[in-house]
């Protein structure tokens, strides 16, 4: 779904490069285990509580990111060029 694509891709751009291997594994589990994309969105926006088995520091980071305290415009996914930046 578009909302998750935008949220997760912008979160990834901002965070993946400095995450530990354990955090990357937690992120991978978070984005691949739930069978319903809406669940991830609801957990990130705190519309529903995160299940205990998926609660982690990465989920807390995603919830904080979803709050968008800097009031950034988040209207589209980032270009993928950032993946090849030094």
What's the distance, CA 47 to chain centroid? 15
In this structure, the number of other CB atoms found within 10 A of the CB of residue 46 comes to 11
- What pTM value is reported for the model? 0.84
Give the count of beta carbons closer than 10 Å to the beta carbon of residue 11. 20
* pLDDT per residue as tens digits for the range 7-64: 999 999 999 999 999 999 999 999 999 888 899 999 999 999 999 999 999 999 999 9
């Amino acid at each position: 779904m578009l909302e998750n694509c935008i949220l997760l891709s912008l979160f990834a751009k901002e965070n993946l490069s400095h995450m530990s291997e354990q955090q990357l594994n937690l992120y991978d589990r978070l984005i691949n285990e739930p069978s319903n994309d809406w669940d991830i969105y609801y957990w990130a926006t705190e519309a529903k509580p995160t299940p205990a088995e998926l609660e982690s520091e990465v989920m807390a980071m995603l919830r904080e990111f979803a709050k968008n305290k800097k009031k950034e415009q988040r209207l589209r996914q980032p270009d993928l060029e950032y993946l090849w930046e030094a």
